[in-house]
Amino acid sequence: MTTVTKESGAPAPAGAGAFLSVRDLHVAFRTEDGLVRAVNGLSFDLERGRTLGIVGESGSGKSVTNLTILGLHNPMFTTVDGEIVLDGQELITARESELERVRGNKAAMIFQDPLTALSPYYTVGRQIAEPYRKHTGASRKAAWERAVEMLGKVGIPHPRERAGDYPHQFSGGMRQRAMIAMALVCDPDLLIADEPTTALDVTVQAQILDLLKDLQQEFGSAIVFITHDLGVIADMADDIMVMYAGEAVERGAVHEVLRTPQHPYTWGLLNSMPRLDSDLGTPLAPIPGTPPSLLRPPSGCRFHPRCTFRSEVGGTRCAGEPPPLPGGRGAACHLTAEQKRSIFVEQIKPRLR
C-alpha cells in the first residue's frame, strides 16, 4: 500500500519501512530571472508491487520530482533539499558513483520519447545488453542472450533477428517496447514511467499498459506512473497524487479520489476530460487561466487565482494562507469537508455523467 504522510507539521522519518520514501522535497532551478521553485515540500511513500499515479498539468513538478529521485537533474543549476530514501539508501546526498549503481540496477526510467532515449548509432540489442553487462558483470554473449530474452518478453516478434536492428528500423510502438525492455533488463525494484504512452495510438497504448501490468506482476516492481491522463491512471494505479504548481494537492487510493474527488483542481481536471457519451459539439470545460510562473508562485493556495470556489471560503484566506495537505486520504483546500462534499455532489458530479 502506498502510504501518505502529513506535509505540514512534523513528517514521519524518511525510510520508516517504505521502499521509496520522499520527505519534504524542494527542488529549485537557478535561472537568470531568479529561482524557479519547481517542487515545494513534497512527501510520499511507495511500497514494492504498488503503482502510484502522479497527475497534473505541464509544469506541475511531476517529471522534475522523478528525475530528482534518479539524480538526473543538473547539479550546476539545481538546488535539492529534503530526503529521498530508496530501499534504505539516501539518494540526495549520494555520490554520483552510488547513483550510477542505483540507476538501471535498482531503479529505472521509461521516457515519453524513445527516439531521444535510444541511441541511433547502436543496435537495439546492444543498448539493452550493455546496462545488463555493466550492472551484473555478465559476459557479452550472456548479456546478448538476456537482451534477446527481454525483447521476447515485451512482445517483439522474432527477437533474435530484431535485436540486431537499429532503432529507426523499429516502429514507434516497438521502440517503446524496446525501451521498456532496456528499463527492465536488470529487474529494477522501482520503475518510473514518464508519460510512456502519450506519443502512441490508443491500440498500442493499451498493449503497452497491459505489458507494464504483466511485467509488474512478474518482477514485483514499484511503479511511479506520470501522466496527465486520468483515464490511464484509473487503469494503472493503486494510488494517485494530484500535483499543481510543484505541490501535492490531493491524494489517496485511486478509486476513492476518482469517485469522490475533493480538490477544485481535481474537479477541473475531471471536468476537462473529453467524454465518449457527450453530444457531438459539446465544448470541453477547460480550467480557467493558466498554470502560474514558479519564479513567483501565488501566495496562499497556489491554485487560488484560477479557483472558482474561493468565494465559498470567504475573506482573503485562500490568497493568504497555504492549505495543508492532511495525512492519508485528503486534499489541500480550505473548504470544509461538508462544502467539498456538497459542491461535488450538486455541481461537479452531474457534469461528469
Residue closer to ligand SF4, measured from CB, 44 or 303: 303
- With H, G, I as helix, E, B as strand and everything else as coil, classify residue 312: helix
Quick one: which of 209, 211, 333, 348 contacts ligand SF4 (CB under 6 A)?
333
Quick check: 236 binds ligand SF4 (CB under 6 A)? no
In the complex, minimum distance from the CB of residue 74 to ligand SF4, in angstroms, rounded to a whole number: 32
Does residue 178 contact residue 163 with C-beta atoms inside 8 Å?
Answer: no
Q: Residue 117 or residue 242: which is nearer to ligand SF4 going by CB? A: 242
Of the pair 85, 335, the CB lying nearest ligand SF4 is at 335
Q: Report the nearest approach of ligand SF4 to the CB of residue 53 (Å).
A: 20
What is the distance of C-alpha 64 from the center of its chain?
9
Pick the binder of ligand SF4 from 264, 291, 292, 330 (CB under 6 A). 264
Q: How far is the CB of 275 from ligand SF4 (least distance, A)?
A: 24
Rounded Cα distance between 116 and 113, Å, is: 6
Query: Is 243 among the residues that bind ligand SF4 (CB under 6 A)?
Result: no
Instruction: Name every residue whose Cβ is closer than 8 Å to that of residue 130 and which is 6 or more positions away in sequence.
Output: 122, 143
- Shortest distance in whole angstroms from residue 295 CB to ligand SF4: 20
Q: Which residues pair with 51 in a beta bridge?
A: 223
Question: Shortest approach of ligand SF4 to residue 245 CB, angstroms?
Answer: 11
Smallest CA-to-CA distance from 165 within 120, 204, 223 is with 120
Among 301, 325, 330, 344, interactor with ligand SF4 by CB under 6 A: 301
Inter-CA distances, 45 with 84, 128, 150, 178, Å: 10, 30, 29, 29
Say whether residue 310 binds ligand SF4 (CB under 6 A): yes
| 335 binds ligand SF4 per the rule CB under 6 A | yes
- The one segment of 110-118, 196-204, 250-258, 331-339 that binds ligand SF4 by CB under 6 A: 331-339
Q: What is the CA radius of gyration of the chain?
A: 21
Residue 23 or residue 263: which is nearer to ligand SF4 going by CB? 263
Task: Give me the residues paired with residue 240 across strands.
Answer: 53, 252
Contact present, 279 and 297 (Cβ < 8 Å): no
Instruction: State in angstroms the smallest separation of the CB of 232 from ligand SF4.
Output: 24
Least Å distance, CB 248 to ligand SF4, is 13
Q: Which listed residue (181, 318, 325, 348) binds ligand SF4 by CB under 6 A?
A: 318
State the chain's maximal CA–CA distance in angstroms: 70
The Cα–Cα gap between 16 and 223 comes to 19
Angle at the Cα of 209 from the Cα atoms of 208 and 210, rounded to 5 degrees: 90
Query: What are the E-state strand segments in 16-60?
Result: 20-31, 34-46, 51-55
How many residues of this chain interact with ligand SF4, rule: CB under 6 A?
A: 13
Where do contacts with ligand SF4 occur on this chain (CB under 6 A)?
264, 301, 303-304, 307, 309-310, 313, 318, 323, 333-335
